[in-house]
Amino acid sequence: MTDLQDEIKVLSTADLVRGDHVRLMSFGETDVAYRRRLFSFGVTRGVEARVIRRAPLGCPIQLDIRGTALMLRAHEALHLIWEYV
């Protein structure tokens, strides 16, 4: 790994907890149809999000993205790659 990769903490959606402020780095291996749905909600690479809450069993997760509250199913958002802001 390079020094830059060592400094950046890479997270999956499963790692996010309430109150985290994160930036979407990559869509990873996300299904194309799901990726298009996220695009329609304004979710693009580099967008910042705040974790509002998680359901008691972890699914779904509520994110505040550009002033919009989005609920993401854990199994669909599993491959999204985030970093702390």
In eight-state DSSP terms, residue 33 is H
pTM of the model: 0.83
Cα–Cα distance measured from residue 49 to residue 36, given in angstroms and rounded to the nearest whole number: 18
Given pLDDT bands bounded at 50, 70 and 90, which one contains residue 9? Answer: confident
CATH superfamily, with its number, for domain 3-84:
Ferrous iron transport protein A (FeoA) (2.30.30.90)
Q: List, in order, residues 6 or more apart from 36 with CB less than 8 Å away.
A: none
User: Between vectors from CA 72 to CA 50 and to CA 16, what angle results, nearest 5°?
Assistant: 45
Each residue of 25-63: pLDDT tens digit?
A: 999 999 999 999 999 999 999 999 999 999 888 789 999
Helices (H) and strands (E) in the chain, counts: 3, 6
Cα–Cα distance measured from residue 57 to residue 9, given in angstroms and rounded to the nearest whole number: 24
